[in-house]
Each structure stands twice: as structure tokens, then as C-alpha cells.
Structure 1
Amino acid sequence: MSFFTDSSDLKRIGALIEAHAAPIYAARNVPFAQFAYVLTRTAPEPGGKPEGAALRQDWRAYPCSLVKVFHLVAAQLRLEDGRLSAHGELDRAMRDMILWSSNSATNYIIDLLTGTTGDTLLDDAEMAIWCERREEINRIFAGLGWPELAGINLNQKLMDDLRYGREKIALDRSAAGHNCLTPIAMARLMHEIFSESPLLPPARLAAIRDHLARDTGHPERGRGVYQLLGYLGDRLPEGTRIWSKAGRTRWLGDDRASFRRHDTLRAILPGGHEFLLTVFTQGEAIAEDDGFLPAIGALVAAEIGDLALKGHSRRL
């Protein structure tokens, strides 16, 4: 089951994505099973289901910083229901979590959402309570009832290397292990953010979109932490409007999380034609390649633009 309907036009673009990516993986001795995407666009008619195409949409992968979009949505849900109180530090953390992909900001938000901190060791009884509280973000998204979210895990903090203390104990005790997303889970959440979704009131959805917006003229656009350089939005046509969240790991001392590079992006091309693209990759030779994802983004933009010229795409 999926939130989109199959599209022959987008399947053709998907075949081009695969034809581009597969030889690169083969040349670098990286299994092509470590590549996945979901591509969608606005429904042909207002109010209809979006159209889409996908490869390995159910691949359960370490999500890197893409998980931060889920944390942003969770914070807005809890602000809306009153279980989280607004304050300046929360606002600053939500901004930096997305804008610069700050792990410190993300972990602060996780503390606020779950009532847990990673301090000194706890006895077994206290640790069990701690682990139960850390499941709060999983409970938030399980409560939405979306089938696309099956198999995801959101109970771990974001780290630049190995874990220590409570965080290490919690990871070892977690049946799910590390954080985990699937391409279809990420794509579904992005779709809800950028549609007239009942997920949140319009003002809160607008706040999330504002955090995800990328300015191609930003003075830090050339830095990787701004998440355009080396990612799907890097080589889109001038004048394209971009909203995105990228993630990347290099060596972390843990093979379950090292050498990933992902991106999820919504783009509106200069002619007003939209697409949403989520790409997951794994493998050192791919994760270290600053040109791999930009080439895919440029390919999709060119093909969506060509569909528009043929009258096969609805303008927003």
C-alpha cells in the first residue's frame, strides 16, 4: 500500500535514475541493493492522490539526519496539543536542527519530547523507565496510523561517533537497534508537510516548511552543512524553489551506521511544476561522492521540465 498511484511518466524517469546510478555502483563495487528512491508529484487533479514511482521503497536503512524532519514534526505536534511549551531555546533548536543539521539541537529536542537525558548510569529499574520514555517519538508516529511508517525506529539520539553511558545501554537493549527509516516513510511525511494535510493546522505546517526552505543565494550555500552542495538541490535550474533535508555519515566506528548519504527534497521548477524526491544510498564510495546526488536531482528536474513542455504536468 502507498499514498501515491503509479505513473508511467514517473516510472520512465525512475528507469533513467536507475540507468544512471547502477553503473556507478557497479564501477565502485558497491551493491546496487544499497540504492533506493521515491519520486512523486502533485496529483493531476486537485484533491487527488499524487503520482509516483519508487525503487526499494521499503528498504529499512540507517537514516542519518533525515530523521530530524520527524523530530521537527513531533515537536510541532506536541506544541499543538500542549504537551510541549514554546520558548526561545526550542525555537532556536528547531531552526538549527534543520538549517545546519545540528545534532546538539536535535538531541535537545529529543530530551524535551521524551523527558530523558544521557547523564550518569542508572540502576536497572530506573533504566527501564528511561528506555520506556525514550519510545515517546515512536509512539507519536505510530499513532498516525500510516501504513508507510511500518518498521521505522526513532528512539535513538544523533551521534558523531560511538555512544556511551545511557545511550550505549539503550542502544544495546533496543530490539530495533539504531534509528531506521524507509524511503516510503520519508516520502509520506514530506507529502503530508507539503499538502493540505490534517496532520497539523496550516500555521504549523507553514512553520515546518519555512524551516525546510533552502535559499540558493544563501551566503553559506557553498558549505556542505547547508545541504545543497553535494545533494539533490545542488544543480537544479536557476529560480527553482527548494525545501530539503539531507543526511550523511562517514566512518562512525559502527558499520550499522557508517557511510550513508541521503536526501529528501521538494522542488518547484521555474515554470511552476513540482516534484518530491527522496534518495537513500549506502557505501563509502557513494557517500564520499559530492556529484552523485546532484546528478540525480538535475536529471529528474530536466525530465519533469520535459513533461511540462509536453503538457504532462500540472502547474501549481
Structure 2
Amino acid sequence: MSFFDTDENLQRIGALLTAKAEAIFRERGVPAEQFGFVLLQPTRDSGRPKGAAFRPDWRSYPCSLVKVFFLVAAQAALEAGQLTEHEELDRAMRDMILWSSNSATNYVIDLLSGTTGDTLLSEPEMTEWGERRQMVNRFFAQLGWPELVGINLNQKLMDDLRYGREKIGLDCSPAGHNALTPIAMARLMHAIFHGSVLTEASREKVQNLLARDLASPFLPRGAYQVTGYLAGGMPAGTQIWSKAGRTRWLGDERADFRRHDALRAVLPDGAEFILTVFSQGEAIAEDDGFLPQLGSIAAKEILDL
């Protein structure tokens, strides 16, 4: 289940990442199996990347990483004429990535699926509602990527518990909450920059929305998702595209206490890598130093190759 070729240098770097993460988890009393990553180095001809991984198919609540999938689905729907471009949609797509806005994300989901989360529905209407909510799952299933097996993309993003249709829809969904794996996230990140999941013009829009700036005045703001995340460990002069996510207590142990990130970095010497990290545990979710330490290791070692 791999779209990349294993590489001795990247496996060595991956072993360093794993050792560092396991040491931090051990110090915090968090089970080491609540961690997984995929590290890639794309090739210059956009062929099969080189890579290394640890628990790449660990299925986890994805926090806000799922918003990249919704963004790609929205761009594909615009290409197909299933959505009409308008100012509010543009604003929502920007804000769900730039500021990780759940409200913006849920607006995009409503437009994609033709559903809302308002008053209760009759049982037949609720069945139809649930079927409409499968739109994004259907889009990614038709790509035929084996790395996407087991993911789920049919739930809105919430800051705490769900009510009404959203609660009933979650309870009735065989797949439960949204779910991703490190390998699924890595496959999509690679496709956005080196694949053909969208037209070139649409891929460029997605890339621009994912861009982060290490010199941005927004850097101290947690919502910008650099400080406390992989990008926070990058050396000055690195070009960054990323989307991170974190949950604290949500009142639902299936989604509580995650800290994930998906990063594409072009280092000052031009070397490129993609790193997706998934982690779970209250002590890790609250640790703003965890992901920057992993990012720093990856950047330093790849610079030294």
C-alpha cells in the first residue's frame, strides 16, 4: 500500500523521527502506538517519490487536516460545473485553510453536499441527507488510490459536541467520525504539488491557499498553524505549504486530544520534502514543542544529504 519507493537515507531520518517521538511519548506517559508519519522526497520528474514511514495506515480522527480534502473536492466541483464560483465560497475556502475556520469549512460542506444541519428530519429525509453527505467520499473513492482505503469525509467540523442532524448523522454513519491516515494525507499532499488530481490552474489555487510565511506578522497566532507545528522547526528562508490540526477535549474520546500536521517544505538549498505526522494523547496535544522538534530533525537531516 505505497505510492513511494523506500530509500535508505529517508529510512535513517525516519528512524530518528521515530526515536525522538517515542522518547517524548515515554516522558509524557503516552502510548507510542499513538504516533505515525510519512516522509517523502519528490523526484524532479514528478514520478514516484522516495519515502519512509512509521505506522502509515494508522486510522485517526484527522482534526483540520481533512480541510485539505474538502478544498480539493470543492475545486473539482468547480471544474465540473457542480459548484458556481462566488465571493462567499472563495472567502470560505481561504478561511478554512488560512485560519482553519470550522464555520467556513461547514459552509463549503453544505455547498458540496446540498445539506444543512438545521432542524430534525423525518427518517426518509434523514436517509437522503446522509446519502448526500457521502459526496466527498465518492469523489475520492473514484480516484482509485489504495492509500485512501478506510478514510471518511462525511462529517462537519465541530468545536465540541454535535446536535440535531449532525448528532443523528454521526450516530448513523457506519464509518463514524471523519478519519484519515498519514499515508492518505501524504498521497494527497504529493498529488497537489506533483500529481494530476486537479487541473493545473486549480492545483495552483490550492497550493496558494496552503502557503505559509515564516516572516508573517500572523506567526504568533495559533490559528496560523506555524508556531507549535512542523513549520515552526524550519530554518529561515524555507518555503512552506502546510495544514495542521489539533483537538483538545471535545467530550468525545473518539476525537479528543489529537495533534497532526501535513507539511511541504522547500529548504534554502532547494531540497524539498513532504512530512505528515499524526499523534494522539492529551500531553502531546498540549505540547507546542513536539511537532517543531520533529520538523527541525527532518529539515536538518535533509539539508545534510
TM-score under structure 1 normalisation? 0.96
Structure 1: gaps (5+ residues): 308-316
Aligned counterparts of 2:42 and 2:68: Cα–Cα separation in 1: 20
Show the counterpart of 2:293. 295
Aligned counterparts of 1:47 and 1:131: Cα–Cα separation in 2: 38
CA deviations over 1:47-75 (Å, ceiling 9, x no partner): 43100000000000000000000000000
Match of 1:232 among 230, 244, 252: 230
Show the counterpart of 2:130. 131
CA deviations over 1:185-231 (Å, ceiling 9, x no partner): 00000000011x22111111000000000011111111110000000
Aligned counterparts of 2:82 and 2:234: Cα–Cα separation in 1: 40
Show the counterpart of 1:76. 75
Show the counterpart of 1:151. 150
Aligned counterparts of 1:160 and 1:228: Cα–Cα separation in 2: 20
CA deviations over 1:27-65 (Å, ceiling 9, x no partner): 21110000000000022x624310000000000000000
Aligned counterparts of 1:24 and 1:218: Cα–Cα separation in 2: 29
What secondary structure, in the 3-state scheme, does the structure 1 residue paired with 2:159 have? Answer: coil
The one-letter amino acid of 2:47's match is G
Aligned counterparts of 1:47 and 1:104: Cα–Cα separation in 2: 35
The one-letter amino acid of 1:211's match is L
What secondary structure, in the 3-state scheme, does the structure 1 residue paired with 2:138 have? Answer: helix
Cα pair 2:227 2:288 within 8 Å, conserved: yes
Show the counterpart of 1:103. 102
Aligned counterparts of 1:26 and 1:272: Cα–Cα separation in 2: 35
CA-CA distance at 1:88 after TM superposition: 0.2
1:29 aligns with 2:29: yes
Aligned counterparts of 1:117 and 1:71: Cα–Cα separation in 2: 16
1:254 aligns with 2:248: no
The one-letter amino acid of 2:246's match is R
Show the counterpart of 1:311. none
Aligned counterparts of 1:97 and 1:293: Cα–Cα separation in 2: 21
TM-score under structure 2 normalisation? 0.99
Match of 1:278 among 276, 279, 303: 276
Show the counterpart of 1:8. 8
Aligned counterparts of 2:245 and 2:46: Cα–Cα separation in 1: 31
Aligned counterparts of 1:129 and 1:143: Cα–Cα separation in 2: 21
What secondary structure, in the 3-state scheme, does the structure 2 residue paired with 1:263 have? Answer: strand
Show the counterpart of 1:142. 141
What secondary structure, in the 3-state scheme, does the structure 2 residue paired with 1:266 have? Answer: strand
The one-letter amino acid of 1:171's match is L
Aligned counterparts of 1:166 and 1:118: Cα–Cα separation in 2: 5
The one-letter amino acid of 1:40's match is L
CA deviations over 1:60-95 (Å, ceiling 9, x no partner): 000000000000000000000100100000000000
Aligned counterparts of 2:197 and 2:18: Cα–Cα separation in 1: 33
Over 4 Å off, 4+ runs: none
CA RMSD of aligned residues (A): 0.7
CA-CA distance at 1:19 after TM superposition: 1.1
CA-CA distance at 1:143 after TM superposition: 0.8
The one-letter amino acid of 1:154's match is L
CA deviations over 1:240-286 (Å, ceiling 9, x no partner): 00000000000000000000000000000001000000000000000
CA deviations over 1:271-314 (Å, ceiling 9, x no partner): 1000000000000000000000000000100000000xxxxxxx
Show the counterpart of 2:217. 219
What secondary structure, in the 3-state scheme, does the structure 1 residue paired with 2:68 have? Answer: helix
Aligned counterparts of 1:251 and 1:210: Cα–Cα separation in 2: 32
Task: Map 1:21-60 onto structure 2 (within 5 A).
Answer: 21-43=21-43, 46-60=45-59
Aligned counterparts of 2:113 and 2:142: Cα–Cα separation in 1: 16
CA-CA distance at 1:137 after TM superposition: 0.7
Q: Between the two proteins, what is the percent identity of the paired residues? A: 67
Show the counterpart of 2:265. 267
Aligned counterparts of 2:287 and 2:214: Cα–Cα separation in 1: 21
Structure 2: gaps (5+ residues): none
What secondary structure, in the 3-state scheme, does the structure 1 residue paired with 2:243 have? Answer: strand
Show the counterpart of 2:167. 168
